[in-house]
Structure 1
Amino acid sequence: MGRGGRSSIYIVDEGAHIDQAEKVEAAIIGNADCRGWVSSVNGMGNLFYRKRQNDSVKVFTFRLEDDPRKTPEWIARKKASTDPVTWAQEYELDYGASAEGVCIPGPWVQAAVKLGKLLGDRLGRWMSPTAPGVAGMDVGGGGKGKTVLVIRKGPVVRVPKSWNTPDNITTTHSALDETRQAGAGVMNYDPIGVGNTVTSTLKHANTDGLKVYPINVGDSPSDAEWPDGRKAKEMFANLKAELWWTVRCAFQRSYELLLFLEGQEGGCDHPLEDIIVLPDSKELTGQLPVPKWLKNEKGRIAIESKLSLARRGIPSPDFAEALVLTYAPEPIEDFVMPSVTPVFGGRGAGLLS
């Protein structure tokens, strides 16, 4: 598509609906210096959405109300005869509406952002520099793979930090410094693959005042018992699925709390300790509603793999995975050397469908 020609301008129509859009982008770069992507909305898991959220890209938005043929009467009739999800996606440009099969639906993510602004001073005790916190680090290898650090204090998630460098030794020290400065006492990281460099670096780094744990999300689930009486090992394919589902539950509670505060149907008053509040980070809010959940051959919940995401043309959700690591249960040991694989103890969590 577009490869081989030379043009003054190249327009890609319905770019959000094109399979392997990254390959199309690579092909047309040599075709034209001026390239425009036009599309209706198709969720967040595609190149068009990422372009739309890029502040360096010029964006023109044509809304329903901008069409002089679409009178208020026409809009009312059309909306009454259209499925709400379809209406939100096709006519209101709602990127979070088409959330079929995703682990964390877009509206839940947006609710967590809105709650941060709505609750304000009620979140004060978690905003303090001395409040305990947990950091999660998803390790990248440079190029498109960023190393991302997310710090969470209770329900409050801070603005993520990221480094786009293959020098994971320097990045590890930077992450330790950021964690200390934020007042967080724990830093979790994924030691698999490029995370090995972090493990090696930590053996010689100054970790005084910090508990640093390698969290292999491919391990078995924890021994936690969920409210319906089932063990995590009966419910989830691996620790990754358990952690993502724990985060999903927190987002659902945030969504229900927002509905409650706004007096809408389906609302529920949840303790603030049980919700999650997000900063207005485009990378984080854009990645969370992307991975899908499924059930494996044993009927256990699994989360879409990076390979499956790549087949859909979606890069690794490094910001989202860094956040998920902040929910890993702390190992039983008081202190764990980076080379030791931790054994997880139980912890309670809510189970929401």
Structure 2
Amino acid sequence: MAAPEWFDFRAPDYERIYKLRAERLERIRATPGMLAGLKEHYKHNPVDFINDWGMTFDPRNAEIGLPTVIPFLLFPKQADFVAWVMERWQGRQDGLAEKSRDMGVSWLCVAVAVWMWLFWPGTVVGFGSRKEEYVDKIGDPKSLFWKLRQFVSLLPAEFRPVGWNEAKHAPHMRVVNPENGSTIVGEAGDNIGRGNRTSIYFKDESAFYEHPDAIDAALSQTSNCKIDVSTPNGNGNPFYRKRHSGKVSVFSFHWREDPRKDDAWYQKQKATLDAVIVAQEIDIDYNASVSDAWIPGDLIAAAQSNGPADVQPVGGWVIGVDAAHFGNDESVLHMRKGRLNLPQVFRRGLDGIQLAAVVEEEARKLSSPPVGIVIELDGPGVSCFDQLRKGRYGDVVVGVHTGTRLSDDRNYNLKAKLWRDAKEYLQQPPVAMPQDPELKSQLGSVKYKFKDGLLLMQAKKEYKAEFGKSPDRADAFVLTFAPTHEIEYHAAPIMGALPDQDGLYF
């Protein structure tokens, strides 16, 4: 359970908490056998242990007349995180936690580590961060091991290990439990993963590591449960790719789930911090630091904040189909009717004929038949196009090669024109887009440049080399701006394509 329902995180009554804890401790000391029973309960209920006895430290309390060392009471999202970490460890699975700043996640990881260290004999908990001073620097509250020593020292004597001596058992980068042999160890920088095997490993601010791939490779051999914890640092790193891979459990810690914060707090952050910092470290926006991105993240965020009731779906339905090759890429369908965009449909491992069947199935679900089904004629898109042309919607199927050169004096090729139209569309609110963070990341990270004075978008191969996957969801949306039978564009539907002078289809 999280903190008591009566507890107000914005006006905390710590005296009442201290009184309850004192009464509880008195009962334990007066009741033989109660301590042993409680320890057995806490072994399987870490949230209860933290709420009942945990302490934390916040120096900012001094300025408002509150104590700086305070009971560690978990709000619901924090309690969910503790349970999530426990599930990952017991299931021998990796996990990733993305977070807004100042959510207490470092203290949560410390609390979980101490719980495991106390109640699970022989376990080894690892902590790593990009700099040693963030892991362990004596006397520095920002270091993880300072927090660990504080958490243990502030526990009632009944819950500290028998024979515990901080000077002896908590040297630099190490905390040893003399009663049951459990250990907490620390590493920094490129040394992460090079030490002993661990039961669980917390990777602090892992989006900021200098050599993240080497660290992941090292840890893969030493721990069955790695927990990446970080605020975003753009989308050109393994943390971003892991976050959106669909292969690892993700826990999101957004500031709106913190009962201590409200819109007034958020507005203050926006007024005092750089916009990129607000986007990355508060709004969990992976695109905030992407340079040369064609579509700004705020345009996408604004569109994703609207629902279907906020827009008028004028016109006919258009379906954009981005057909994927086999592998980790997705085949994606995007359905758009004027200002309304439906949640996308994703499939993996389909050939062109199978994908055509999915397109027809989704088309039947629409409120009216589509006026256009646009497919990029590349790889499996060709066989999907051929199959759809034979079906019930054959008359509205359009095949395009986005690498086709144009002569409109603005766009290098059809792809550039589609992306230009998509940006102009988003610049004319209101637009309702599906609330999909991966779609937002892809739309806000495809880059652009000008070649011979013409707009040229980043090639798929370049994007995949940089970000680890193709922008399939973004491409499906953009394809809905291709010419159809009922929408007039400067260029007619183009069935042929020529590579540009570098030999690449853009």
Query: Normalized against structure 2, the TM-score is what?
Result: 0.50
- Structure 1 or 2, whichever has the larger Rg, is 2
Q: How does 1:114-263 map to 2 (within 5 A)?
A: 114-116=305-307, 120=309, 122-123=311-312, 125-126=313-314, 132-182=316-366, 183-202=369-388, 205-208=390-393, 210-221=395-406, 233-254=408-429
Return the letter of the residue paired with 1:134. Answer: V
- What does the per-residue CA deviation read over 1:262-299, in whole Å, with 9 as the maximum and x for residues that have no partner? xxxxxxxxxxxxx5320222332232111111122x12
1:56 CA drift (Å): 6.4
Gap change, CA 1:135 and 1:160, over 3 Å in 2: same
What runs of 5+ residues in structure 1 fail to find an aligned partner?
Answer: 224-232, 255-274, 335-339, 344-353
2:318/2:373 contact within 8 Å kept: yes
Partner of 1:330: 484
Return the letter of the residue paired with 2:322. Answer: D
1:180/1:210 contact within 8 Å kept: no
Helix, strand or coil: the match of 1:234? coil
How many pairs are equivalent? 294
Return the letter of the residue paired with 2:399. Answer: P
Return the letter of the residue paired with 1:98. Answer: S
Q: Which has the higher contact order (CA 8 A, sep 6+)?
A: 1
Partner of 2:292: 101
1:28 CA drift (Å): 4.2
What runs of 5+ residues in structure 2 fail to find an aligned partner?
Answer: 1-189, 489-493, 498-506
Gap change, CA 1:18 and 1:220, over 3 Å in 2: farther
1:235 CA drift (Å): 1.6
What fraction of aligned residue pairs are identical, expressed as a percent?
Answer: 29
Partner of 2:125: none
Return the letter of the residue paired with 1:61. Answer: F
Helix, strand or coil: the match of 1:235? coil
More helix by percentage: 2
Q: Return the match for 2:434 from 279, 284, 287.
A: 279
Query: Normalized against structure 1, the TM-score is what?
Result: 0.69
Return the letter of the residue paired with 1:132. Answer: G
Return the letter of the residue paired with 1:186. Answer: G
Residues of 2 paired with 1:249 and 1:333: CA distance? 16
- What does the per-residue CA deviation read over 1:286-330, in whole Å, with 9 as the maximum and x for residues that have no partner? 32111111122x122111112222232331010110110000123
Partner of 2:124: none
Return the letter of the residue paired with 1:196. Answer: V
Helix, strand or coil: the match of 1:253? coil
Confirm whether residue 35 of structure 1 aligns to residue 226 of structure 2: yes
1:97/1:107 contact within 8 Å kept: no
Please, what is the CA RMSD of the aligned residues?
3.9
Residues of 1 paired with 2:211 and 2:475: CA distance? 23
1:284/1:319 contact within 8 Å kept: yes
Residues of 2 paired with 1:333 and 1:313: CA distance? 33
1:170 CA drift (Å): 1.4
